[in-house]
Chains A and B, each alone.
Chain A
Amino acid sequence: MNRYKIDNFMKMQSERGGAELLSAETVNQALIISLEGELDLHTAPPFKECIDSYLAKNTALRDLILRMDKIKFIDSSGLGVILGRYKLIQKRGGKLVFVACSPHVYRILKLSGMQKIAYFTDSIQEALSL
Chain B
Amino acid sequence: MEVKNWVRLEFPSESENVLFARTAVAVFASQLDFTLEEIEDIKVAVSEAVSNCVIHAYGDCSGNIVVICKYSIDELEITVEDNGCGIPDIVQASEAGYTTIPEERMGLGLVFIHELMDHVAIASEVGKGTKLLMAKRIPRSRE
Contacts and interface: CB of A to CB of B under 8 A. Distances in A.
Interface of A: 16-18, 38, 40-42, 73, 75-77, 79-81, 83-84, 103-104, 107-108, 111-112
A38 B48 contact: no
Nearest to B115: A111
Interface in B96-140: 104-106, 108-109, 111-112, 115
Contacts of A18: 16, 19
B15 interface: yes
Contact of B108 (A17, A76, A84): A76
Contact of A80 (B22, B37, B106, B111): B106
Chain B interface mostly? helix
Contacts, number: 63
Q: Nearest 8 A-B pairs (CB), nearest first?
A: A42-B15, A76-B108, A75-B47, A41-B51, A104-B40, A76-B109, A41-B15, A80-B106
21 contacts: A40-B19, A40-B47, A41-B18, A41-B47, A73-B40, A73-B44, A73-B47, A75-B44, A75-B112, A76-B48, A76-B51, A76-B106, A76-B112, A79-B106, A80-B106, A80-B108, A83-B106, A103-B37, A108-B44, A112-B108, A112-B112
Nearest to A83: B106
What's the dominant secondary structure at chain A's contact region? Answer: helix
B70 interface: no
A81 B108 CA distance: 13
A104 B37 contact: yes
Contacts of B109: 75-76
